[in-house]
Amino acid sequence: MKLYRDNQKACEKGPYDSCKTYMLYDYFPESRLLLVHVTYYESDEWLLVRQQDGKEENIVAPPRYSPGKKWLASVFRTEGPSDGNNGIDIVPANGGSTGPAFHYRPEEYELWEYVRWESDDRLLVKVTSRIGSNPELVTSPAEVVRVNGTWQLHKSPPESPRP
């Protein structure tokens, strides 16, 4: 059993990291996953908590199921400080899914957006970034593809037809 409790005493002292507020945001019954939104003074985080064992997985935003409900994808963009809520997460929807989770946090200026799941093994996204030293922002398609059990990010997806 896990207990998530707000720390009101820490909040009364000031806006510090120990001042957390927890909210049960969503429940995924088929996967027995709880989505908990944790808010701080000027930031937040999202936790997927497995009901079976209490294992937590940090993700960037509320997730979406793949078509076969094997995976959950979380994609979020933020121009704020690097608090971990910018990027892409793909996690198994249940304990029986094979393969590792995928977590991507950009090291340079990149703003990621969810487009759609094309299949259980292909997530379409788009990214807004700068090319080289050019200050102008460019938005382009990208994808995360599962190949031989491993997720791979392709910032410029091939123009080949999709299976």
The model's pLDDT over 23-55, given as tens digits with 9 standing for 90+, comes to 999 998 888 899 999 988 777 889 999 888 888
In order of 80, 107, 118, 130, the CA distances from 136 in angstroms are 18, 18, 30, 6
Classify residue 162: in a domain, yes or no. no
Which residue shows structure tokens 């990027």? 87
Domain residues for the domain of 106 are 8-154
**Interval 121-129 mean pLDDT:** 94
Classify residue 159: in a domain, yes or no. no
Instruction: Answer yes or no: pTM beyond 0.75.
Output: yes
Domain count, the chain: 1
Classify residue 20: in a domain, yes or no. yes
Classify residue 1: in a domain, yes or no. no
pLDDT computed for residue 65 by the predictor: 93
Classify residue 89: in a domain, yes or no. yes
More confident residue, 4 or 60: 60
Classify residue 160: in a domain, yes or no. no
Classify residue 163: in a domain, yes or no. no
Would you tell me how many other CB atoms lie within 10 Å of the CB of residue 81? 10
Contact between 91 and 99 under an 8 Å Cβ cutoff? The reply is no
Classify residue 61: in a domain, yes or no. yes
pLDDT at 82 over 60: no
| pLDDT band per the 50, 70, 90 thresholds, residue 95 | low
91-113 residues labelled b (16+ CB within 10 A) or e (exposed): bbbbeebeeeebbbeeeeebbbe
**Interval 111-130 mean pLDDT:** 94
Contact between 129 and 110 under an 8 Å Cβ cutoff? The reply is yes
